[in-house]
Amino acid sequence: MTAILELKKIHKSFEVGTVNENHVLKGIDLTIEKEEFVTIIGGNGAGKSTLLNSVAGTYAVDEGAVFLDGKNATHKRTNDRAKDIGRVFQDTKMGTATRLTIEENLAVAFKRGKKRGLSLGVKDKQREVFKEQLKLLELGLESRLKMEVGLLSGGQRQALTLLMATIVPPKLLLLDEHTAALDPKTSQMVLKLTDKIVQEKKLTALMITHNMEDAIKHGTRLIMLHNGKIVVDVSGEEKNKLSVPDLLALFQKNSGDTVTEDALLLS
């Protein structure tokens, strides 16, 4: 079986040759199989977003290789990778167009990977698909297709963004703290929705979170980044029975660092 994502010894540094030179990813090896749902944790500046940006092509890696669905994507531009990748960011305003209606936003998302132009016309048949998909969210948006997206709440908007990122199921879904800007209750709603969409659409996903409990509770595999390396990688039963103290102990054992400081960073 071909892995959906293979990172082979990738390195990424910023501000090379200056006093601020920062070696952020230090030879990351990572293989993600189809339908794996990986949660990623790590302190501020650990390189989590840099890792996702390297997968999406936003950043070119300095060394190593990125394989997407068995094909070498290392030198492919973001646009060329975009047909295989769905992304949702922390900022609830990033994934949707404020002045367009719900159905117009979905129509734009529906064209991903297809070579036709960006016409906003929505056909009746498409509208039925959108309604069905919106029902998945259980937010009643299926009866508000003509509403401007700018009028939605942050949580509704993020749920819609999630749907847009997956309405044409991507080979890989990248979520970068997509619930961090939401209040705790809305955050849990969007996380539940994420589980549902990933399961129903049989997606392969990488999800960054700052919350260790969420990282344990969601997904099929958990990865912790520290000092540019993967220091924890657990899946299956081992992940299911993990507690936050277990995770901190694993981190301490594998990284050799004291837990107190990073426990704060990860809280």
Ligand X SMILES: Nc1ncnc2c1ncn2[C@@H]1O[C@H](COP(=O)(O)OP(=O)(O)OP(=O)(O)O)[C@@H](O)[C@H]1O
Residues near Mg ion (CB under 5 A) are 48-49
**How far is Cα 50 from Cα 114, in angstroms, rounded to an integer?**
28
DSSP letter string over 93-118? TSSS-TTSBHHHHHHHHHTTT--S--
Residue 193 binding target from ligand X, Mg ion, none, CB below 5 to 8 Å by type:
none
Q: Are 206 and 172 in contact (CB under 8 A)?
A: yes
**Contact flag: residue 48 with ligand X (CB under 6 A):** yes
Out of 9, 31, 45, 140, the residue judged to bind ligand X by CB under 6 A? 45
Residues between 12 and 31 that touch ligand X (CB under 6 A)? 14-15, 22, 24
Q: Are 196 and 166 in contact (CB under 8 A)?
A: no
**Residue 143 Cα to chain centre, angstroms:** 28
**Contact flag: residue 150 with ligand X (CB under 6 A):** no
Residue 22 binding target from Mg ion, ligand X, none, CB below 5 to 8 Å by type:
ligand X
Minimum CB distance to ligand X smaller for 55 or for 234: 55
Q: Sign of the CA dihedral 230, 187, 49, 64? A: positive
**Contact flag: residue 228 with ligand X (CB under 6 A):** no
Q: Count CA atoms within 13 Å of residue 266 on its CB side.
A: 25
Structure tokens given for 142: 């299926």
Find residue 8's DSSP bridge partners. Answer: 65
Residue 211 burial (CB count, 10 A): 20
Find residue 114's DSSP bridge partners. Answer: none
| Backbone φ and ψ of 180, nearest 5° | -65, -25
**Contact flag: residue 55 with ligand X (CB under 6 A):** no
**Contact flag: residue 10 with ligand X (CB under 6 A):** no
**How far is Cα 260 from Cα 164, in angstroms, rounded to an integer?**
39
Q: Segment contacting ligand X (CB under 6 A): 27-35, 37-45, 117-125, 138-146?
A: 37-45
Out of 44, 79, 258, 267, the residue judged to bind ligand X by CB under 6 A? 44
Minimum CB distance to ligand X smaller for 18 or for 79: 18
Out of 5, 7, 49, 191, the residue judged to bind ligand X by CB under 6 A? 49
Minimum CB distance to ligand X smaller for 26 or for 127: 26
**Contact flag: residue 207 with ligand X (CB under 6 A):** no
Residue 245 binding target from ligand X, Mg ion, none, CB below 5 to 8 Å by type:
none
Minimum CB distance to Mg ion smaller for 48 or for 178: 48
Q: Which residues bind ligand X (CB under 6 A)?
A: 14-15, 22, 24, 42, 44-50
